[in-house]
Amino acid sequence: MQKKRILVALVVAVIAGAFWLGGAVDRAGAREQVVNIYTSRHYGVEPVFDRFTRETGIAIRFTTGSDAALRERLRAEGARTPADMYIAVDAGNLWLAARDGLLAAVESRVLRENIPAHLRDPGNRWFGLTQRIRTIMYHPARVTPQELSTYEALADPRWRGRLVMRPATHSYTQSLVSSLIAAHGPAKAEEVVAGWVANRPVLIDSDTRILQALAAGEGDVAITNHYYLGRILQDNPGFPIRVFWANQADRGAHVNISGAGVTAHAPNRANAVKLLEWLSGTGQEMFASTNHEFPANPRVTPHPIIAGFGRFTADDLDLGELGRLQAEAVKLLDRVGYR
Ligand SMILES: [Fe+2]
C-alpha cells in the first residue's frame, strides 16, 4: 500500500514537472513544436492543418501572400527566416524558389513513394501535393463535345468570337503556353497561340468569372482549371457548364500542381518534413478535396464531384519544364499580342 502511494506521488511529480518545463520552454519560445508556413494557397485549408496538429501536437502558423512576394521575403530574410515551409500554386513558382536556392532537398522514402516522379523536383526540393487540370470548358447548349478535341484546335477560325480565356499576365496562361512549347517547340506553339489571339477571345482574369461568363452566354468555349467548376457545382449542381478533357488522343490534358518545399534555413526542419510527408499520405485526401483538386498520390480517391468529370489522360510532362520555359512563354505571348 505504502509503495503504491509513493509510486502515485512520483508519477504526479513527474507530470507536474513536465508541465512546468513545457510551460517554461513555451514562454521562452524555443522548443515549441511548430511549423511556420509561407503560403499562397489559401482555399479553406485550415481544417486540414488543424487535424495535423491534433494528430501530432505540432502547431502550424501561416504567413499568406502572393507566390512572388513570399519568395522575395524568403530571399530578404535569408538565414534568419522563421519560415520552415513554402507552399505555392503553379509548378513555375516552386521551380523559381528552388532555382533561387530558397528550398532545401528532402530525401524521404515516404515522399518518393507517395508522389509520382513527374510531379516533384528531381532534386527533391519541392513536391506536388495536388493536381489541377487546366482544360476546355463548354456550354452544352451551344457546343457539342464532338466539336472539341485539343487546345491547338481552339486556334481554328470556327471559334472566332466564341472563346473566353485568362489574360497573359496570369501564371496559369503562362504555364499552359510553356506546355505547348514543350510539346511542339517554340515555332509551332507560337502559331497556335497566334491562332487563339486571331479568334479575339474575351479575356477575364478569374476562372470563376470565366465560367460564369460562359453560362451567361458571353462565349461558348473556355479554358479554366477544373476545380473552379467543381466549386461552383458544389453550391449549384444545376450549373450548365461541362468539362471536356483536352488532347486525349495525344499527350493528355495540361497538368499543374500546388505543392511545397522545406525552406533552405528552416528552424523546424524535422517538423516541416513530417508535415510534408503527412500531406502526401494521411492528409492527402482532405488537402486535395477541400479545393476539388486531384490528389498527387495515385492511391488516394478524388472528391466525388470531380470523379464525376470522368476518367482522362493527363500530360505527364516533367513539371520543372513549366518553370524552365516560363520566361520564353511570356515573350511568346507578348509577340503574338496576347494581353
Ligand atoms: Fe486557382
pLDDT tens-digit series, residues 288-321:
999 999 999 999 999 999 999 999 999 999 999 9
Positions of the chain with pLDDT lower than 70, given as ranges = 1-31
CA of 207 to the centre of ligand 1 (A): 7
Non-local CB neighbours of 34 within 8 Å, separated by 6+ positions:
58, 59, 60, 61, 268, 271
CA of 243 to the centre of ligand 1 (A): 16
Domain extent, residue 227, equals 132-255+311-335
CA of 227 to the centre of ligand 1 (A): 8
Using CB atoms within 10 Å of the CB of residue 95, give its burial: 0 to 12 exposed, 13 to 18 middle, 19+ buried: buried
pLDDT tens-digit series, residues 6-52:
444 444 444 444 443 433 344 334 468 999 999 998 778 899 999 99
Domain count, the chain: 2
CA of 90 to the centre of ligand 1 (A): 9
Residues 317 and 199 in one domain: yes
CA of 161 to the centre of ligand 1 (A): 25
CA distance 194 to 19: 66
CA of 225 to the centre of ligand 1 (A): 7
CA distance 65 to 112: 29
Q: How many CB atoms lie within 10 A of CB 274?
A: 18
CA of 316 to the centre of ligand 1 (A): 20
Residues 319 and 196 in one domain: yes
Residues 41 and 96 in one domain: yes
CATH number at residue 80: 3.40.190.10
Residues 322 and 177 in one domain: yes
CA distance 316 to 244: 18
Q: How large is the C-alpha radius of gyration of the chain?
A: 23
Residues 188 and 264 in one domain: no
Residues 99 and 87 in one domain: yes
User: Which triple of cell numbers denotes residue 264?
Assistant: 533552405
Phi-psi bin for 92: left (phi > 0), alpha (psi -120 to 50), beta? alpha
Residues 179 and 208 in one domain: yes
CA of 93 to the centre of ligand 1 (A): 13
Strands 242-244 and 127-138: antiparallel
Residues 215 and 84 in one domain: no
The answer to whether residue 17 is domain-embedded is no
The answer to whether residue 9 is domain-embedded is no
pLDDT tens-digit series, residues 167-181:
999 999 999 999 999
Residues 210 and 330 in one domain: yes
pLDDT at 31: 64
CA of 200 to the centre of ligand 1 (A): 24
CA distance 240 to 237: 9
Non-local CB neighbours of 42 within 8 Å, separated by 6+ positions:
62, 64
CA of 31 to the centre of ligand 1 (A): 36
